[in-house]
């Protein structure tokens, strides 16, 4: 027997019927058609399925859809308010994208980190993406990109403040 759940995905309210054994990843990808969230291992080792639930990163392959009733979800498709955010731009600037399969999870983690901390150390960056496997880049350009994004965000904050003044 399915149950009706209501939750927000990328700012849009959704009301859908789910079975207790349906996984969040399959609801997001299948029922909502948001295929940016990826299946990589299904057991929490690769981080490709990472989404934000109430602002905190979670593995959608190990989350029951029924658990997110009443909660707020952000996927890669909802990460930028406009076209691209600083993180996405920095990933492109730094050649941090190769096959792109890990990219959504990486960007979600970068977003979470930079929301929490404006100027993370390299160690903190690594700690935040160590649950996200990448087989192409050796991580170096991804770390560079997150550093660049942090700098850009700080500069744009400075600009925003100086505009106000």
Site for other proteins in 95-134 (CB under 8 A): 95-104, 107, 109, 112, 122, 125-134
> 4, 43, 161, 165: which one contacts other proteins (CB under 8 A)?
43
Residue 80 CB neighbours (<10 A): 15
Binding residue for other proteins, selected from 7, 9, 32, 36, defined by CB under 8 A: 36
What values do phi and psi take at 123, rounded to 5? -65, -40
Q: Is 41 one of the binding residues for other proteins (CB under 8 A)?
A: yes
**Calpha distance 36→150 (Å, rounded):** 23
Of 56, 82, 163, 164, which lies in the binding site for other proteins, with binding defined by CB under 8 A? 56
Q: How far is CA 66 from the centre of its chain?
A: 20
By CB under 8 A, residue 74 contacts other proteins: no
Using CB under 8 A as the binding rule, the residues of this chain from 132 to 161 that contact other proteins are 132-144, 147
Give 125 or 164: the residue with its C-beta nearer to other proteins: 125
């Amino acid at each position: 027997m399915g149950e009706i759940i209501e939750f927000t995905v990328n700012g849009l309210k959704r009301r859908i019927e789910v079975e207790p054994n349906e996984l969040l990843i399959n609801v997001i990808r299948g029922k909502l058609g948001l295929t940016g969230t990826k299946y990589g291992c299904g057991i929490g080792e690769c981080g490709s399925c990472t989404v934000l639930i109430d602002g905190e990163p979670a593995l959608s392959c190990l989350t029951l859809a029924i658990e997110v009733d009443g909660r707020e979800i952000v996927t890669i498709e909802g990460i930028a308010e406009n076209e691209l955010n600083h993180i996405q731009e920095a990933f492109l600037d730094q050649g941090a994208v190769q096959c792109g399969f890990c990219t959504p999870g990486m960007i979600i983690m970068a977003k979470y980190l930079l929301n929490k901390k404006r100027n993370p150390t390299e160690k903190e960056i690594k700690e935040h993406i160590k649950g996200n496997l990448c087989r192409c880049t050796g991580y170096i350009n991804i770390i560079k990109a997150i550093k660049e994004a942090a700098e850009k965000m700080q500069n744009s904050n400075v600009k925003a403040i100086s505009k106000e003044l």
